[in-house]
Chain A
């Protein structure tokens, strides 16, 4: 997307978002607009995969986006196997990824 188009979705709906907060994803800070899911924040930050499959080690991220496919599993503050696309991010959340689906 061209830099001048970054604000387009916000202009489209007349959004005046609250201040972003950060979550930590494998130690890296990722910005979140209050209310966004962990999966949307990751995808929006350009992170497209955060898990490897257990047999062939294939990278996976969002696929169905609505909680049906289970490709986007993450560990949130030590709680494993949560669907990133359904889990609303909270300030200070520590997300760990890449643990496989064992």
Chain B
């Protein structure tokens, strides 16, 4: 394709940047595209220049390494920040990446490349509970994004709840930034990390650092506890915290006053773009759909690679290693000489095993469905209560799609991104791969007249 790049990488997080850099170093002409105005993805979300922060690394773990990769990359590759990708197409001799440039002007732009690396990351996986749509209830990632990206502390008195190791850096960051963190409530066992020798070996120092930070701020960190209800008239005033049994059924409850709740139950990989191209998916142990890849991070569609959370949630270290593998594979597949690097393959294998052990230690257990009431909203956008989902099920709906057609959960603005996991579970089904031919909102005029490729 004339004027196109060798490789287009979508996503400027750890996977995309490492992938783009590896491909550059192996001799490819690379373009990196991301919707955000600054690099880093969610994990390494950067502050705006306007803050002139002299030690941004205090909000991050491993930022220095990422920053060095980014600096090298920008001297060798084309970088398109502030470009939201809403569709990717196979053009026969390559790929067309349809973007909207700018956060409000939305100028359409099309980028073409012979190969495509999709590293689009993940977003929080919330669970519904009574009051979860009250203002002041945020996802854990949302609270983290406010701090890392805008230097705004999400609240004065904050409760952190959900499951998984991500709750710790969120709570530690908020406490160090001046919030009164009233408690961290981990629905699984608090010792999930330490019980796994593999985990203890891999990331003990990092986990210990967060633990010390929380202890220093006298933040209670309790396992087998969850926030099962949020209260307030127009905004959050307090939450009900429950001690849970092994299946997450409440055993005893108490009230904790707070103005902010940061809540997260794991992550949902964003795989709209690979699904648009027809890339095969597979299911994680907990049913989460992810992109299926080979040892070179090649998807089932020739010329398309995927890395990072899109191929299974595993954190920034694994994402970076996978990105390097993908960038090197893309270069090798285009005929560049790429020396073997067995240590990198071993690193991916080791970190993948770590990710699988984490997923086993921090699953979503079925008792959360007992926290719901008939009038609890399941779908925030279309305001679909549990009673409507149950009615659809009584009418014979046995999967998320059938429930959606009968009761409309997942048909609103977010297209099921927030409620998809819950709706599937309530339907007695696992989550399906997302079929969203348009991955970002796009004006009808831009849809009708996609622009020609521009260099």
Binding site for B on A (CB under 8 A): 1-2, 5-6, 8-10, 12-18, 33-37, 40-41, 43-44, 48-49, 53, 55-56, 58-71, 73, 76, 79, 81-82, 85-88, 101
Contacts and interface: CB of A to CB of B under 8 A. Distances in A.
A82 to B, nearest CB: 6
Contact of B135 (A9, A37, A49, A69): A49
Which 9 interchain pairs have the tightest Cβ spacing?
A35-B48, A65-B142, A34-B50, A8-B178, A40-B150, A70-B413, A14-B54, A5-B178, A49-B135
9 contacts: A9-B147, A10-B51, A15-B52, A36-B48, A59-B134, A64-B142, A66-B141, A68-B123, A68-B417
A33 B149 CA distance: 12
Contacts of A9: 147, 151-153, 177-178
A48 B50 contact: no
B338 interface: no
Nearest to A61: B135
A63 B152 contact: no
Contacts of A82: 103-104
B152 A43 contact: yes
Contacts of B53: 13-15
Given A15-B51, A34-B48, A56 B383 contact: yes
A6 B153 CA distance: 9
Contacts of B52: 15-18
Given A65-B141, A68-B414, A58 B59 contact: no
Contacts of A60: 133, 135, 380
Interface in B141-158: 141-143, 145-147, 149-154, 156
B149 A40 contact: yes
Contacts of B137: 63
Given A18-B52, A37-B150, 12 more contacts: A1-B179, A9-B153, A13-B53, A14-B55, A17-B52, A18-B51, A35-B51, A44-B150, A68-B123, A68-B414, A69-B380, A87-B103
B235 A12 contact: no
B209 to A, nearest CB: 15
B124 interface: yes
A76 B103 CA distance: 11
A46 B235 CA distance: 11
B137 to A, nearest CB: 7
Contacts of A64: 123-124, 138-139, 141-142, 418
B406 interface: no
A35 B50 contact: yes
A64 B51 CA distance: 23
B442 to A, nearest CB: 12
Interface of B: 35, 37, 42, 47-56, 58-59, 103-104, 123-124, 133-139, 141-143, 145-147, 149-154, 156, 176-180, 234-236, 380-383, 412-414, 417-418, 441
Determine chain A's interface SS by DSSP, over half rule: loop
A70 B149 CA distance: 18
Contacts of A35: 37, 47-51, 150
Given A35-B49, A35-B51, A65-B141, A8 B177 contact: yes
Contact of B151 (A1, A15, A66, A87): A15
B234 A49 contact: yes
B104 A79 contact: yes
Given A15-B151, A35-B49, A59-B234, A86 B146 contact: no
A90 B33 CA distance: 23
B103 A86 contact: yes
A1 B139 CA distance: 20
Given A9-B153, A40-B152, A59 B135 contact: yes
Contacts of A71: 133, 380
| From B142, B147, B417, residue with most partner A Cβ within 10 Å | B142
B143 A65 contact: yes
A86 to B, nearest CB: 6
Contacts of A88: 37, 48, 103
A17 B51 contact: yes
Given A5-B178, A70-B413, A62 B48 contact: no
Given A9-B153, A18-B50, A40 B146 contact: yes
B69 to A, nearest CB: 21
A87 B149 CA distance: 12
Contacts of B180: 1
Contact of B156 (A1, A13, A36, A85): A1
A42 to B, nearest CB: 10
Given A8-B178, A10-B151, A66 B142 contact: yes
A70 B138 contact: no
Contact of A48 (B51, B136, B382, B383): B136
A56 B375 CA distance: 12
B418 A69 contact: yes
A25 to B, nearest CB: 15
B47 A15 contact: yes
